[in-house]
Chain A
Amino acid sequence: MTAPYAAGSTSSGTTRILGWLSLAGLALLLAYALVWSPADRAQRDAVRLMYVHVPSAIVAFTACAITTLAAAMWLRRRSEGWWVLGGASAEVGLLFTAMTLLTGSIWGRPTWGTYWDWDPRITSTSLLFVMLVGYLALRRIDNETGDAAQRGSRGAIVGLLLFPNVVVVHYSVDWWRSLHQTATITRLDPTIEGTMLFTLVLGIAVFGLVFAWLLVHRFRVGWLEERIDHSGLDEALVERRAEAGVGAAVGDGGTV
């Protein structure tokens, strides 16, 4: 199996373009978010965090869905690629989940006057964070069991349940808190328009690119890790065969 990129590297023509696009997009997003978009009347400059916060959240939940899809496909096909994708997506998703919580907290301080509010989204995102950590912990154990063919399904089953659980948790938390206050996004929506809306959409697009970029690289790192495991096994086999060959030549006529 050959990879479309050089051994020891995870970049290819496509990812280089993706990388430059991501960086250029981030620069443009920064300019829009910090300079060209106006401050919000109610939230003032804190609103600028939303251009990072909302895209992070969307990417985090997308990553979660990809992990579940990869787990399902791995259970069906048992092909290494899906296995690696599930882990890559969960890891990158964990990063964006952390970023969502962090930016949300920083935004919450000036806007709500507190770092943490028992808002449905904060609560369910923090639970998502723990679920991703748990999934990755279980995967590490599965990884220790050897190559893809005999690898356990534990991680994959948890991965398969990941997105449904996220949805169930999200809605139950939403329902739980709905007695107290409405969801954040609906409070924001009516006021958002023009440059602000454009910046938000730009943010989502740019974060999508960054996510894809990181995901491809993480996937390739994972893929190379698998190759190393395999090559280790292959080399050991060759060595044993060589030893057996030498042994046979020396012990010619002896018992085998």
Chain B
Amino acid sequence: MNQVRDYLERPKLYYNIDGVGELGIGFMYLTYALFAWLEARAPENSFLNRPYGFLVYMTAMVSIIHYGSKAIKERITYRRTGFVEYTARDKYWIPFALGAGISALLSVGIALAMRRHWQASTLVSLLVGLALTAGYIRIARTVRWKWAVFIVMLAGAFMIAALPADVTEAFANHTDLTRAIPARTLGACWLTFVVFGVVMMISGGISFWLYLRHTEAPEVEDE
């Protein structure tokens, strides 16, 4: 029965066969970090500090990820190893449920961070790091060497949480956001997104390179 389950899982794991899934997630983490960095340094009346600024930025980021992945799949992956169209449940509902779950977890983290008297900075950044690492398990299951990436992420989450307060504070000091969230928490979370984004981009890049090396488009003939 395990073999049946294995066959049913394979098409789902196929999405990241070329590393594009990881590249997309890594890009998303880095753009979150970039937005936080820009927002912190932009003047108070800048569009980045307006409520719609984040919305515009998010729309641009999601569009780049969606159309960028689609272009790579259309031009490279579908021609080399085939096309798969997922069910609405896999395409929309599961990502939506996962997104809602992670957002809820992050909201709890932010709520904890805003209670300054709790001094929960370490816990919050660890929570964010562990949530992002847990999300990676699905990808790590596809290829054995990805477990090394998982361990790097896990170690990264603990190391960032264990950084001295003045180091993490230095990343977020003198920004408007620190009026609501302690600078050390904000800095640790920002650092988490940067580190995880870079790790995902490297891992996705290696997968993409390996995919290009080991696959080639078949000659066109009748099937």
Q: Do A and B bind each other?
A: no
